[in-house]
Amino acid sequence: MKSETGFDHDLYRLFPTHRPRPEGEVEELERIWENPKGWGLLTVVNNNYIGFFYVATAFLFFLLAGILALGMRVQLAAPLLEVLPQDTYNQFFTMHGTVMMFLFAVPMVEALGVMLLPQMLAARDLPFPRLSAFAFWAYFVGGLSFFASLFVGLAPEGGWFMYPPLTSIAFSPEINADFWLLGIGFIEISAIAGAIEIIVGVLRTRAPGMTLDRMPMFAWAMLVFAVMIIVAFPSVILCTLLLEMERAFNWPFFDPTRGGDPLLWQHLFWFFGHPEVYIIFLPAAGLMSMMVSTVARTPLVGYRLNVLALVATGFISFGVWAHHMFATGMPRVSTGYFSAASMAVSLPAGIQVFCWIATLAAGKIRWSTPALFIVGSIVVFTMGGLTGVMVGMVPFDWQGHDSYFIVAHLHYVLIGGMVFPMFAAFYYWNGMTSKNALSERLGRWIFWLMFTGLHITFLPMHLTGFMGMPRRVYTYLPGRGFDVLNLISTVGAFVLATGVLLFLVDLARRFRFTTDEDAGNVYGGGTLEWLPTGMYSTRSIPLVRTREPLWDDPDICDDVAEGRYFLPNSATGLRETIITSPINAEPQYLQLMPGPSAWPLAAAFFTASFFLSLTVQGYLFAAASGVIAVACTLRWLWETDRPVAQTTADIGAGITVPIAITGPSSHGWWALNTLMVVMGMIAIMAVFGYLYLFGIHPEVWIDPPPVPQTAGIVALLALALVASWGSRRWLAARQAGTFAGQGPWIMSALAAILTAGALYWDITGWQQAGLDPVLTGHGAIVAGLLSLQGCTVAIGLLMAAYLGYRSGRGLVLAPASVTLDIVARFIAYVAVQGMGFAILTRLFPGS
Amino acid sequence: MAGDFHTRQDWITLALAFSVWFAHFMIVWSISIAFPGMAAGRWLALPVTLAAFGGLWWLWRRRQDKTLASVSSLSVLIAAGAIAFSTLSPLIG
The answer to whether A337 contacts B32, with C-beta atoms less than 8 Å apart, is yes
Domain match, A631 and A704 both: no
The answer to whether A213 contacts B5, with C-beta atoms less than 8 Å apart, is yes
Of A411-420, A471-480, A665-674, A718-727, the range with the lowest mean pLDDT is A665-674
Q: Is residue A420 part of a domain?
A: yes
Give the mean model confidence (pLDDT) for residues A289-309. Answer: 94
Q: Residues of A numbered 311-370 whose beta carbons fall under 8 angstroms of chain B's beta carbons: which are they?
A: 311-312, 315-316, 318-319, 330-334, 336-341, 343-344, 347-348
Mapped onto helix, strand or coil, the DSSP state of residue A733 is coil
pLDDT cut 70: percent of chain A above it: 100
Q: Which of A638 and A547 is assigned the larger pLDDT? A: A547
Q: A501 vs chain B: nearest CA distance in angstroms?
A: 44
Model confidence pLDDT, tens digit, residues A774-799:
999 999 999 999 999 999 999 999 99
Give the mean model confidence (pLDDT) for residues A246-259. Answer: 96
Q: Is residue B46 part of a domain?
A: yes
Whole-angstrom distance, CA of residue A688 vs CA of residue A268: 9
- pLDDT at residue B39 above 70? yes
Q: What is the pLDDT of residue A800?
A: 96
Q: Which of A517 and A198 is assigned the larger pLDDT? A: A198
Q: Is residue B68 part of a domain?
A: yes
Q: Is residue A429 part of a domain?
A: yes
Give the mean model confidence (pLDDT) for residues A548-561. Answer: 95
Model confidence pLDDT, tens digit, residues A140-167:
999 999 999 999 989 999 999 999 999 9
Domain match, A474 and A343 both: yes
- The interface predicted TM-score (ipTM) is 0.90
Secondary structure element (H or E) that encloses residue A627, with its range: helix A619-638
Of A65-79, A647-661, A702-716, the range with the lowest mean pLDDT is A647-661
CB atoms within 10 A of CB A398: 12
Q: Is residue B3 part of a domain?
A: no
Q: Is residue A617 part of a domain?
A: yes
Q: What is the pLDDT of residue A9?
A: 92
Q: Is residue B13 part of a domain?
A: yes
Q: Is residue A574 part of a domain?
A: no
Out of A486, A510, A534, pick the residue that ends a domain.
A510
Query: Cα-flanking dihedrals φ and ψ of residue B70, to 5°?
Result: -80, 160
Q: Tell me if chain A has a CB within 8 Å of the CB of B89.
A: yes
Whole-angstrom distance, CA of residue A90 vs CA of residue A468: 20
- pLDDT at residue B4 above 70? no
Q: Is residue A550 part of a domain?
A: no
Mapped onto helix, strand or coil, the DSSP state of residue A470 is strand
Give the mean model confidence (pLDDT) for residues A7-35. Answer: 92
Q: Is residue B85 part of a domain?
A: yes
Q: What is the CATH number of the domain that holds A823?
A: 1.20.120.80
Name which of A318, A340, A348 is nearest B86 (Cβ-Cβ).
A340
Domain match, A612 and A756 both: no
What is the secondary structure of A477-514 as a DSSP string? -TTSS-HHHHHHHHHHHHHHHHHHHHHHHHHHHH--B-
Tell me the pLDDT of chain A averaged across its residues. Answer: 93
Q: What is the pLDDT of residue A487?
A: 98
Give the mean model confidence (pLDDT) for residues A717-743. Answer: 88
- pLDDT at residue A470 above 70? yes
pLDDT band at A204 (very low <50, low <70, confident <90, very high): very high
Number of domains comprising chain B: 1
Q: Is residue B74 part of a domain?
A: yes
**Whole-number Cα distances in Å, A668 to A255, A323, A740:** 42, 38, 21
**Whole-number Cα distances in Å, A786 to A252, A504, A683, A711, A779:** 15, 50, 11, 17, 11
* Residues in chain A closer than 8 A to B15 (CB atoms): 311
Domain match, A703 and A630 both: no
Q: What is the pLDDT of residue B1?
A: 46
The answer to whether A695 contacts B71, with C-beta atoms less than 8 Å apart, is no
Q: What is the pLDDT of residue B2?
A: 44
Whole-angstrom distance, CA of residue A456 vs CA of residue A451: 9
Out of A618, A638, A658, pick the residue that ends a domain.
A638
pLDDT band at A847 (very low <50, low <70, confident <90, very high): low
CB atoms within 10 A of CB A647: 11
Q: What is the pLDDT of residue B6?
A: 60
Model confidence pLDDT, tens digit, residues A88-126:
999 999 999 999 999 999 999 999 999 999 999 999 999
Q: Is residue A804 part of a domain?
A: yes
Whole-angstrom distance, CA of residue A57 vs CA of residue A618: 28
What is the secondary structure of A530-594 as a DSSP string? GS-EETTEESSBPPP-SSSHHHH-TTHHHHHHTT-SB--S-SSSS-EEEEE-TTT--EEEEEE--
Out of A615, A638, A661, pick the residue that ends a domain.
A638
Number of domains comprising chain A: 3
Q: Is residue B2 part of a domain?
A: no
Q: What is the pLDDT of residue A260?
A: 96
Q: Is residue A252 part of a domain?
A: yes
Give the mean model confidence (pLDDT) for residues A358-376. Answer: 96
Q: Is residue A669 part of a domain?
A: no
Domain match, A619 and A477 both: no
* Residues in chain B closer than 8 A to A319 (CB atoms): 21-22, 25-26
Domain match, A300 and A224 both: yes
Q: Domain span at residue B17?
A: 8-92
- Which residues are within 8 A (CB) of A477 and not within 5 positions of it... i.e. 6 or more apart? A79, A80
Domain match, A634 and A741 both: no
Q: Is A803 in contact with A284 (CB distance < 8 Å)?
A: no
- pLDDT at residue A184 above 90? no
Q: Domain span at residue A349?
A: 41-510
Helix%, strand%, coil% for chain B, nearest 5: 75, 0, 25
Query: B36 exposed, middle or buried (CB, 10 Å; 0-12, 13-18, 19+)?
Result: middle
